[in-house]
Chains A and B, each alone.
Chain A
Amino acid sequence: MMEKMIFGRYIPVDSPLHKMDSRAKLLTIIIFIAIVFFANNVITYSLLGLFTLLAILSSNIPIKFLFNGLKFLFWIILFTFLLHIFFTKEGDIIFKLGFITIYEYGLRQAIFISLRFFFLILVTSLLTLTTTPIEITDGIESLLKPLKKVKFPVHELALMMSIALRFIPTLMDETDKIMKAQMARGVDFSEGSLKERASAVVPLLIPLFINAFKRAEELATAMEARGYRGGEGRTKYRLLKWGKIDTIVMLLLLLVTVLLILFRS
């Protein structure tokens, strides 16, 4: 199941979206999330749909692959769809069968809210699919830079993020190893009541935590030995480049926003 799930993974293919600056992508997503809520009629929703479709097409990620990977999220959409359709009681009745009554406004609302979800999930997952974690970190650091003026520790946050990202696979491996080691000693992780399962996690969590502390200490020593003294006076190896495509995307997004505001009813 884990192999099929693509939410939060990075797919290295060559595409215009992959080449975009991570700052532009982050900004696009923030703005997109905001304007999704402006849409309230057919024209505005099709506008958003067009934008989403364009984004997917320019990511060069096979649509089938994308939908397969996001399958489990569509269940959530279906759930909200059903909630809306059955519990909104406004407008004309369009369908009635036994205790099920569907109202016109309910159907409308259900379709629109689901579409909203659908667009949001697609666009946000495109971010992680086309951007490496380190690029996202760099982008966030760069976008948060103005906050330095109010003494927000931007560099520290970015460093913590990149170290956290770098250690995810290492800690996953370790979890797996500890789990197998404890299973070899007779700990059962997959059976028993809720309480038994919860207590089975203890021999997994404690060594994991202790090891994490040890790792942190060793890493700090190694960083210090390599001359790390905090954010002051550091240069950056990674370079963010704002290209033509980034400007085009931002302009396109601006156009969509303006049209959305104009056409919303």
Chain B
Amino acid sequence: MVKEIVQFKDVSFKYEKGAPYALDHVNFSVYEGEWLAIVGHNGSGKSTIAKLMNGLIFPQAGSISVDGREIAEETVWDVRDMVGMVFQNPDNQFVGTTVQDDVAFGLENHGIPREDMVARVHDSLKKVKMNEFLDQEPHHLSGGQKQRVAIASVLALRPKIIILDEATSMLDPRGRSEVLDTVRELKSNNNLTIISITHDLEEAVKADRLLVMNRGTVYREGTPSDIFLMDEELMKLGLDIPFTQKLIKRMREQGFHVPEEILQEDKLVDYVWRLTQEI
């Protein structure tokens, strides 16, 4: 049995009185060690979920627990120790004057002794392959590099869960794949739970599980192959399906029986290769 690490029970939230609910009776769980992608159109409540999980805002109704602890005013700092967050804008979350200062910022906040801090800063920057940029200033770094520093500074705090709140949406394709590869490698090496919030479904294909949000409610939950079978329905929700999925759909229309478990490019290439062998 896999452990539930985050639990949302009947959570409702709205930003202002009289405004519509940003989240309306949301229920879901995140399991330890999985990569969960939360997808949805703009304003579907994805980012609200991220902020709730970290105790940056509190729900009006329902309860959220992280690793068995319910988030409340008293526990919020313990919860923040367990949950690290990488935000969307690489510039606006860079606190330090240089790369190493930024990574050290979180550690300073936790009162970690200096010798320990130095080791951890170097270690986590090495893990994201930014250890040659110690004294570099943020305006000399690319967007992808800044996001990797943001990941390093979260990593230095040794969280159990990392939330990527549209962390790749302001990056170019190369920066995006750099950041995602880094996260993937870290996940497998450190037994992390990753919650990535995105509207890029290419990114979501690689998740273990998907949560589709629509207008503040959980619309659908399932593995990527389940979700992409929704096809037209996804388009109606304002989400675009990935290129490989479109290609598979076209192939099926042309009379090829592409198996359902094929989701990613490499598997499709394999399948096509085998097909040509048969002919």
**Cβ B114 vs Cβ A227 within 8 A:** no
**Cβ B153 vs Cβ A227 within 8 A:** no
Q: Which of B100-124 contact A (CB under 8 A)?
A: 100-101, 104-114, 117-118, 121
| Closest Cβ–Cβ distance, residue B115 to chain A (whole Å) | 10
Q: Which of A178-235 contact B (CB under 8 A)?
A: 214-215, 218-219, 221-229, 233-235
27 pairs of residues in contact across A and B, judged by CB atoms under 8 Å: A162-B96, A163-B95, A165-B97, A166-B95, A169-B139, A170-B91, A214-B92, A215-B92, A218-B92, A218-B93, A222-B93, A223-B95, A226-B84, A226-B106, A227-B109, A227-B110, A227-B157, A228-B109, A234-B109, A235-B107, A235-B114, A236-B114, A237-B100, A237-B107, A237-B108, A237-B118, A239-B114
**Cβ A227 vs Cβ B97 within 8 A:** no
Given contacts A169-B139, A235-B114, A238-B101, whether A226 and B153 have CB atoms under 8 Å apart is yes
A134 within 8 A of B: yes
**Cβ B97 vs Cβ A219 within 8 A:** no
Leading 5 A-B pairs by shortest Cβ distance: A237-B104, A222-B93, A218-B92, A226-B106, A169-B139
B96: which A residues are within 8 A, CB to CB? 162, 166
**Beyond the given A221-B56, A221-B87, A237-B104, could you list 17 further A-B residue pairs with CB under 8 A, ordered by the A residue number?**
A134-B101, A163-B95, A166-B94, A166-B95, A170-B138, A219-B92, A219-B93, A222-B92, A223-B105, A225-B80, A226-B95, A228-B105, A228-B109, A235-B113, A235-B117, A236-B114, A237-B114
B107: which A residues are within 8 A, CB to CB? 235, 237
B67: which A residues are within 8 A, CB to CB? none
| Closest Cβ–Cβ distance, residue A175 to chain B (whole Å) | 13
State the CA gap A228–B56 with chains docked (Å). 12
State the CA gap A238–B107 with chains docked (Å). 12
B6: which A residues are within 8 A, CB to CB? none
B80: which A residues are within 8 A, CB to CB? 224-227
**Cβ B106 vs Cβ A219 within 8 A:** no
A139 within 8 A of B: no
A156: which B residues are within 8 A, CB to CB? none
**Cβ A227 vs Cβ B95 within 8 A:** no
State the CA gap A228–B96 with chains docked (Å). 13
**Cβ B117 vs Cβ A226 within 8 A:** no
State the CA gap A221–B104 with chains docked (Å). 17
A219: which B residues are within 8 A, CB to CB? 92-93, 95
A133 within 8 A of B: yes
Using CB atoms and an 8 Å cutoff, list the residues of chain A in contact with chain B. 132-134, 162-163, 165-166, 169-170, 173, 214-215, 218-219, 221-229, 233-239
Given contacts A133-B97, A173-B139, A227-B109, whether A222 and B87 have CB atoms under 8 Å apart is yes
**Cβ B97 vs Cβ A134 within 8 A:** yes
**Cβ B97 vs Cβ A166 within 8 A:** yes
B77 within 8 A of A: yes
| Closest Cβ–Cβ distance, residue B145 to chain A (whole Å) | 15
Quick one: which of B56, B111, B117, B121 contacts A225, CB cutoff 8 A?
A: B56
**Cβ A162 vs Cβ B97 within 8 A:** yes
| Closest Cβ–Cβ distance, residue B197 to chain A (whole Å) | 14
**Cβ B81 vs Cβ A218 within 8 A:** no
B128 within 8 A of A: no
| Closest Cβ–Cβ distance, residue A213 to chain B (whole Å) | 11
**Cβ B105 vs Cβ A226 within 8 A:** yes
B81: which A residues are within 8 A, CB to CB? 227
| Closest Cβ–Cβ distance, residue B217 to chain A (whole Å) | 25
State the CA gap A235–B111 with chains docked (Å). 5
In the complex, what residue of chain B is closest to A168 when comparing beta carbons? B139
B98: which A residues are within 8 A, CB to CB? 134
Q: Which of B65-101 contact A (CB under 8 A)?
A: 77, 80-81, 84-85, 87, 89, 91-98, 100-101
B118: which A residues are within 8 A, CB to CB? 237
**Cβ A226 vs Cβ B91 within 8 A:** no
In the complex, what residue of chain A is closest to B102 when comparing beta carbons? A166
B54 within 8 A of A: yes
B137 within 8 A of A: yes
State the CA gap A218–B166 with chains docked (Å). 14
**Cβ A170 vs Cβ B139 within 8 A:** yes
State the CA gap A8–B89 with chains docked (Å). 29
| Closest Cβ–Cβ distance, residue B244 to chain A (whole Å) | 34
**Cβ A218 vs Cβ B101 within 8 A:** no
Name the residue in B92, B104, B107, B157 with the highest tally of chain A Cβ atoms < 10 Å from its Cβ. B92
A214: which B residues are within 8 A, CB to CB? 92
In the complex, what residue of chain B is closest to A169 when comparing beta carbons? B139
Name the residue in A133, A215, A227 with the highest tally of chain B Cβ atoms < 10 Å from its Cβ. A227
B30 within 8 A of A: no
